[in-house]
Amino acid sequence: MNFLLVRLHTNTLENASYSDNTTFYIYAAFFNVLLTYGMETSFFRFFNNEKYKANRVFSTALISLTFTTIIFFSLVWYYNDSLAAFVHLKLSYFNFLVGVLALDTLVVVPFAYLRASGRPIKFSIIKLISVFTYVLLNLFFLWAMPKYNIQFLESYQDDPVQYVFIANLAASVLTFLLLFPYFFKAKLEFDFSILKKLLAYGWPIMIAGMAYIINENFDKWLLPQVLGKDINGAYSACYKIAVFMTIFIQGFRLGAEPFFFSHAKEENAKNTYAMVMKYFVILGSLMLVFVTVYLDFFKQMLVADESYWVAIDIVPVVLLANLFLGMYFNLSIWYKLTDKTRFGMYLSLIGAVVTIALNYVFIPKIGFMASAWTTLAAYSIMVIISYILSRKHYKVPYNLQSIGIYLIISTSFAFASFYIFDGHLLIGTLLLFLFLGIVYIKEKKELLKILQA
């Protein structure tokens, strides 16, 4: 539902305004990582650890994040004029940003508790309520109000992108209220020894997360400065078409992280992790081919305004880059399970250096395509280095032959369909079914065993 708003936003916002919308969420993502300082993953690591009481871990993490969030909100709100100017945001945009950040940070631990305690239905219901609130308010502000001449917050009508931020703030408020009972669910116990463990485990993850935000968003921060807001708006909108892969990866991460920790002590854990990686690559490769083959349909569905299509060539490259990102998340279990999270920080920093350097060098030379190829290069390098390190620290028997075959075939089919056959629907569909046939032939026996078990 959220990504379907891309069409609404690109229909109602000018390219430059859509660029401002993108910039807002770049800062939101960056400060969200900073404010949570790796606490979510740290929580998963110690919540199910027999050495520590689950309630004490929950309380310590909750109190820590609540305290630091209140301090952040107070200081930033006091200096909001200066800080808004520093990050080049309008004061009203910045104030909305601070409110969203504070509320979203406060619910990190309650959401993590629902995941770690095996309550996916409640977790999903609250998430969906939040998303529906955001979507419905966007529809009201950007579609219903102009269509039916509804007068509401008239001062914002000349700058409609602010309505997007209001919708986000309202959704964050509702989410906080739904999770507020968890602040009093158990006896609050603060344990400094547990806090030290949480912080020691989490700070490298925070640095890694900040580097990840750079990898994902540095291009959208630099492009408006080099090529202008209009180009960045088009690039950002077309980048959203790759959201199909992003949603797949996000769904995988939500379930995989607690799964990896809870199965770590099982006898066949490494074989399980290897199988998860293989089928992740199969599904991701299938999505790469499917979205690329039917890209003409998806671009018209999501980004109807043709002025945005100038950047459509980035989509296959970004899809492949996100597939490599998903593989990197799979590989990350080796440093999370061995408590060597500093390696995650090193790997993400390497990716960030690649991202910054290649964007600065090549955007002025070849334009926005440089950013797409840079994203692919950064994530590919991170995957390769992470795999090499994993062989030494936590060796998982990944089936490199099968993974390599699926990646090569899917990439070849997707790129041929889009760049060589110019999106020819019949040829692309034949390539898609050919890929499905290859998967069926190679995996039929194993899939039957899994289903029978």
Q: What is the pLDDT of residues 144-201, one digit of tens each?
A: 998 888 877 776 777 888 899 999 999 999 999 999 988 887 677 888 888 898 888 8
Q: Is the pLDDT of residue 21 over 60?
A: yes
**Whether residue 375 sits in one domain with residue 226:** yes
Q: How does residue 101 score in pLDDT terms, banded at 50, 70 and 90?
A: very high
Instruction: Tell me which of 161, 190, 219 is where a domain ends.
Output: 190
Q: Is the pLDDT of residue 234 over 80?
A: yes
Is 292 inside any structural domain? Answer: yes
Instruction: Tell me which of 190, 225, 254 is where a domain ends.
Output: 190
**Whether residue 139 sits in one domain with residue 262:** no
Is 195 inside any structural domain? Answer: no
Structural domain count of the chain? 2
Is 293 inside any structural domain? Answer: yes
**Whether residue 215 sits in one domain with residue 182:** no
**Whether residue 289 sits in one domain with residue 354:** yes
Q: How does residue 446 score in pLDDT terms, banded at 50, 70 and 90?
A: confident
**Whether residue 22 sits in one domain with residue 163:** yes
- Average pLDDT over every residue of 281-286: 94
Q: How does residue 7 score in pLDDT terms, banded at 50, 70 and 90?
A: confident
User: Is the model more confident about 268 or about 383?
Assistant: 383
Type of residue numbered 203: W
- Average pLDDT over every residue of 129-133: 94
Is 422 inside any structural domain? Answer: yes
**Whether residue 111 sits in one domain with residue 74:** yes
Is 200 inside any structural domain? Answer: no
**Whether residue 268 sits in one domain with residue 378:** yes
Handedness of CA 341, 343, 346, 349 (dihedral sign): negative
Is 199 inside any structural domain? Answer: no
Q: What is the pLDDT of residue 17?
A: 85
**Whether residue 423 sits in one domain with residue 341:** yes
Determine the structural domain holding residue 150 and report its residue range: 1-190
